[in-house]
Structure 1
């Protein structure tokens, strides 16, 4: 791969540390040091302000604004409104002044700077010594966390220690609704409707433009010293300024407890939201920093015990996978049934906080095996936004339902309309996710009460979106997962996945006829499904065009792909990366170079249906053509490389996948973290080196061990049990935590797992 890591962080299995401030990496650090708890998230920006390059990102799941897309020429079926998650209140707002000098790391002289993200406890700490122009030295330590147990609460602790003086320091603490959304017009999208200092609390009520959602933010302060304070207020800022007398050598601690109440309803009532926010603050009146931190740490301790992945032999790999797991849990842990996983989570404004086409195929498996409730919530998001999917299909002259390429609320919001309209493969991924969740979590109630309606409406869309020709049925004018080829015909991934969607729908219809006829009748009446439609679907499934060289087993990504001019991707210089920004669009579209796996993706998703020989020839053909311009790419390549015994390639791709953001391989970490890639990195460990496959009748394992690893262990939740897997270069050992035996397949042989560990020798060819 023609990409190089940009390393500046310390390697430690549990901790991300920046020693010495790197201003040229400021925004990258803000993304990497992000904290979240699904309800809200903050980038790792400096509490005290910063005059250099930065993005103050404070986000709330489901809080957004809208703007007109303003197409110069409007066409039917193209979205006209762009919605996007807005940066909200900066509840960490702090300013520190000493002898008339304002602390600003862009101007101030500091030493011993260190910033640490402790993934074991979910806390961010930053400390340094400020050397003022008057010669004074003040050691400052900031600590913050967003409670995983009381998700509307966040805490900040500031510790001040005068090293060579005694005297006053001014500290301002406030709520600031002025942070701008850079990508859309570079301005704030909030108005502050009300502020009040009531007893120990400072309150501010903000309202978003256009959508008119409301957010009440409040804070209270606790200090272990005497101070004098006065309120401060500006157009979008409200808080207090403290004057604290410092004594040389004595540490002073200032704790800030913040309660945020966000109402997602469009056009919510400000007065009602205000009262709810005031009541919330009262609820947490007695909650101290230390007590909340203890609960928070206990939550993470239990979570890591259940979901940790342990890699022995390479600290960089260990740090990388833990960082991915940590950020995924911060993004979604089943707290809100209306939440989904945004492409950047709550770590940046690029992609607007929206979930994309890849959520079900990449992110959902992580939550299925680690937090089934969170997985169900993600699929309920699809069901709850089915009405919008029906409207989108109608706007595109189709029947049934088609889900948007990207969306925060279910509406189509893809400004690059040819992506939004042509990437119809998203619907097949939704079907795949529904079926995976049903089988792996045994949730038939969800499947038949909600999932089947989605599946049938998607099949109805596909039947109306495709066309017949003499040799079969296919989809024309589409785009597959590889976004370097557009307006193509019969994309192999799209056709294959849609075919399987039709087959699933038809099989389940027959099952419902036999086992639950009343439920089937109610469903078919609700959506007016006819027997004629089902007959047509059978023909479509049987005659779906799948481009393939039957002699070699090589799938053609889309019709005509094999005839495209070849481009040597190794000849592309670092200065040209990412080519999405440095090449003309039409230049990217005209070669056999691909952005990310397309054929290889469905070979992975439906692994049990394809032989090693078929996987090998396709892997060896498409890998040299893949630019990995998408963060989704490395993990799938690593998984297939591990399966095929290409150990060195598997390890190289893995390091790239887990450290994509930590080492900024794609030079875009500053925009926010790649959540789907992080889920892909987890897949990389469990499905790649763990060799797990879950698309067959039972879980199957065909593990492999990288050369530099001594051992690997992980746990997954499966059918009510915790399955523990440990492996090294000699054995793979499995056990479960329940009395009822569990049948799995290991190296092609079925075995029954119990509480007692079962060890199986690791074949020599499965070790690097």
Structure 2
């Protein structure tokens, strides 16, 4: 693998620490130090402003806009006016002036800079000493956090400690909606109302075309007497405050913010009143109490979700950071929310949900937070009608889930992706199957899941076709997970996942025929599904095209074996990301793979393939894979661990857990690779833990990397929490909550209840 780490952060098991500020890492660290609570998120930008490189990012889940103009195209099925997550209110806004010198780390002299994201407390703290041109030294500390349970609340504290002087300082604290998206010269926000209420400020703005509303209010408290005056500009309101500082005595300014978004609002007066009331409620909770609540929340999270690694500090920090950011991004608070590829940390990918949600994120929630897992599928059901509309735009039937979306509509403007990728549709079907397989929630399956399955199968049947010579079913002119192969025929992943979707849909329909005929009758009324369709789906599934070489290598797509070869390891690191350094068509005319295709479905349907099949396919495809997708390393690591390629497994794992902390892909500046954070969790649990959840019973085959002394993880399965600790010689199993749990370990059935169980690691699973 040609990619290398860019290491600049201190290794610590519970903190992300930046010592000294390097402007070349400015935007990277804004992403790394991002905070969110699912409802809203902020990048780790300097709230005091900077003339240096920055992406001031503040976002709300589900708040979006459409592009200002339609694209000039008459091609059917091509998106003309995409939607995207917009940059919202800067509720942390502050400007500080001392002796006519503006605080700007890009302009002033400062020292002793430290920034810390505390994973136990959920706080981000930044400290440094400002030395003015006249020799005055001011120690500043900025602290912020978002309440994880009262999700409308945000908190900020600024501490000003003069080290060698006494005197006045000017501080402007405000709320600013005059934010921009990327290079757009205009704001997408229209001011509706604003005002001050003593120590409180409030402003209400509306998006220009979607007419979504956000109220932002704050209560400001200072621990000493000060003078203030109201400052108002378009889309801005604030207090200009003058404080008298005393040498070696700290002045503290606290902000309690209350931000309310309304996705479908049409009554701004109502939201204004709701905002004022919510702000009043927020001020009943002091800053210190909210901070204690935050610490208690994260204690509960870590008691349940933590993964401990003994003997590897870098990956210990990495996996905890992944879990922390996953929890911040999504924890099932609202079924109208989903998980964007960058979460709420950046604007690349425009806040879109991809197929990553069901394939890479859902397992994390299935084994930690079943309610959140179900809510992710509820989002897909709520947007089923939009998927139906999308299918008709592609001259097909049924439902085609969008490649990228916030509101359920297709937002991808590139036809080769939007019209040729069906991972989202088969991913939703796989997600329904995976959820039902692990939870047994037949109520959801019969009421909502089967309707999605029928419509997805209907789409796949209408989009696929039959070869003139092979007389086999498959998909023509598509792009699979490997996006370096465009407009191919018979992509193996697309064909195989469609085949499995047909099979599962037919199985559920047969189950309804036998056990729930009344529900089947209602389904027929809603969807019009017929026996003729069911017979055709069975024919498609039975005759799906998959080509294997004599050695058992599954051809990624028709003609792949004959493509020119590129040695991916010889590509210089300076050429990454390739999309920015290579001509676009250069990516498509060789056998270099962006991310796994064949290996992807061999992981998802692991029990259907022999170990030998997985071995020959891994050994063929792994050297051809460049891992330009952040999701790629984890899948390779999981399969490498299963195949006994333990050095590769650990190497890929380190890449995955520290993807953003070490900026492997040189694009962390654009936002975190949020869905790959979930893939890193899978890397531990499915990789080294050997968990497999694609069969009738859970399977565990733990191995311990030779560099580690032990590792521990927990999974929740049907209301029972199982703790698994893997040491050099044995596996310790404990039920922490719930009843006994049944599973297969090292090929043998096992039941664990309230008493600790021990299993000796077989010799062939021990890594010397």
Per the normalisation by structure 2, the TM-score is 0.98
Indicate which of 428, 431, 449 corresponds to 1:430. 428
Judge conservation of contact 2:36–2:329 (CA < 8 Å) in 1.
yes
Deviations 1:71-95 (A, max 9, x none): 4432011111111111111000011
Against the structure 1 CA distance between its residues 349 and 738, is the aligned structure 2 distance closer, same or farther, given a 3 Å change threshold? Answer: closer
Which residue is 2:39 aligned to? 39
Where structure 1 has 5 or more consecutive residues not aligned to the other structure, the ranges are none
Distance in 1 of aligned mates of 2:459 and 2:266:
34
Displacement of 1:199 after TM fit? 2.8
1:620-639 residue pairs with structure 2 within 5 A?
Answer: 620-639=619-638
Displacement of 1:354 after TM fit? 1.0
Distance in 1 of aligned mates of 2:235 and 2:245:
31
1:670-709 residue pairs with structure 2 within 5 A?
Answer: 670-709=669-708
Judge conservation of contact 1:490–1:547 (CA < 8 Å) in 2.
no
Partner-residue secondary structure (3-state), 2:229 = strand
Partner-residue secondary structure (3-state), 1:454 = helix
Q: Which stretch has the larger CA shift, 299-308 or 437-446?
A: 437-446
Distance in 2 of aligned mates of 1:110 and 1:442:
59
Judge conservation of contact 2:310–2:708 (CA < 8 Å) in 1.
yes
Displacement of 1:186 after TM fit? 4.5
Which residue is 2:319 aligned to? 321
Distance in 2 of aligned mates of 1:448 and 1:547:
35
Displacement of 1:181 after TM fit? 0.4
Distance in 1 of aligned mates of 2:75 and 2:386:
19
Which residue is 1:275 aligned to? 273
Distance in 1 of aligned mates of 2:303 and 2:514:
43
Deviations 1:718-747 (A, max 9, x none): 101111100011101112235632211000
Root-mean-square deviation over aligned CA pairs: 1.1
Distance in 2 of aligned mates of 1:238 and 1:767:
63
Deviations 1:450-501 (A, max 9, x none): 1110000000000100112343111100000000001100111111111011
Which residue is 1:25 aligned to? 25
Judge conservation of contact 1:313–1:708 (CA < 8 Å) in 2.
yes
Which residue is 1:666 aligned to? 665
Count of equivalent residues: 765
Which residue is 1:335 aligned to? 333
Deviations 1:193-227 (A, max 9, x none): 21101233100011111111111100011111111
Judge conservation of contact 2:78–2:414 (CA < 8 Å) in 1.
no
Judge conservation of contact 1:128–1:139 (CA < 8 Å) in 2.
yes
Deviations 1:212-254 (A, max 9, x none): 1111100011111111111111112101011111111111111
Distance in 2 of aligned mates of 1:615 and 1:152:
47
Distance in 2 of aligned mates of 1:186 and 1:509:
53
Distance in 2 of aligned mates of 1:471 and 1:64:
45
Deviations 1:19-57 (A, max 9, x none): 001111100000000000000000000011111000100
Matched, 1:159 2:165: no
1:35-114 residue pairs with structure 2 within 5 A?
Answer: 35-67=35-67, 70-114=70-114
Deviations 1:647-677 (A, max 9, x none): 1000100000000100000000000000111
Distance in 2 of aligned mates of 1:174 and 1:316:
39
Deviations 1:80-129 (A, max 9, x none): 11111111110000111111111000001111000000011110000000
Distance in 1 of aligned mates of 2:240 and 2:447:
55
Partner-residue secondary structure (3-state), 2:273 = helix
Distance in 1 of aligned mates of 2:524 and 2:260:
41
Partner-residue secondary structure (3-state), 1:662 = coil
Deviations 1:281-320 (A, max 9, x none): 1222211110111111111100110000101101100000
Displacement of 1:188 after TM fit? 2.1
Judge conservation of contact 1:425–1:498 (CA < 8 Å) in 2.
no
Partner-residue secondary structure (3-state), 2:399 = coil
Which residue is 1:439 aligned to? 437
Matched, 1:243 2:242: yes
Displacement of 1:337 after TM fit? 1.4
Distance in 1 of aligned mates of 2:322 and 2:728:
25
Displacement of 1:69 after TM fit? 6.4
Which residue is 1:560 aligned to? 559
Distance in 1 of aligned mates of 2:135 and 2:570:
54
Judge conservation of contact 2:190–2:208 (CA < 8 Å) in 1.
yes
Distance in 2 of aligned mates of 1:531 and 1:119:
55
Which residue is 2:367 aligned to? 369
Which residue is 1:461 aligned to? 459
Q: Which stretch has the larger CA shift, 73-82 or 312-321?
A: 73-82
Q: Which stretch has the larger CA shift, 465-474 or 584-593?
A: 465-474
Distance in 2 of aligned mates of 1:648 and 1:634:
13
Distance in 1 of aligned mates of 2:534 and 2:7:
56
Which residue is 1:608 aligned to? 607
Judge conservation of contact 2:692–2:698 (CA < 8 Å) in 1.
yes
Partner-residue secondary structure (3-state), 1:499 = helix
1:294-693 residue pairs with structure 2 within 5 A?
Answer: 294-469=292-467, 470-549=470-549, 551-693=550-692
Displacement of 1:359 after TM fit? 1.2
Partner-residue secondary structure (3-state), 1:79 = coil
Displacement of 1:575 after TM fit? 2.2
Distance in 1 of aligned mates of 2:25 and 2:57:
16
Displacement of 1:406 after TM fit? 0.3
Against the structure 1 CA distance between its residues 738 and 86, is the aligned structure 2 distance closer, same or farther, given a 3 Å change threshold? Answer: closer
Distance in 1 of aligned mates of 2:73 and 2:60:
34
Q: Which stretch has the larger CA shift, 432-441 or 38-47?
A: 432-441
Partner-residue secondary structure (3-state), 1:220 = strand
Judge conservation of contact 2:213–2:262 (CA < 8 Å) in 1.
yes
Distance in 2 of aligned mates of 1:579 and 1:447:
42
Judge conservation of contact 2:140–2:161 (CA < 8 Å) in 1.
yes
Distance in 2 of aligned mates of 1:417 and 1:74:
12
Distance in 1 of aligned mates of 2:738 and 2:304:
18
Which residue is 2:203 aligned to? 204
Which residue is 1:133 aligned to? 133
Matched, 1:716 2:734: no
Deviations 1:347-394 (A, max 9, x none): 001111110122100011111111111111111110000010000000
Displacement of 1:68 after TM fit? 5.3
Partner-residue secondary structure (3-state), 2:681 = helix
Partner-residue secondary structure (3-state), 1:387 = helix
Partner-residue secondary structure (3-state), 1:554 = coil
Distance in 1 of aligned mates of 2:299 and 2:734:
22
Distance in 1 of aligned mates of 2:68 and 2:195:
34
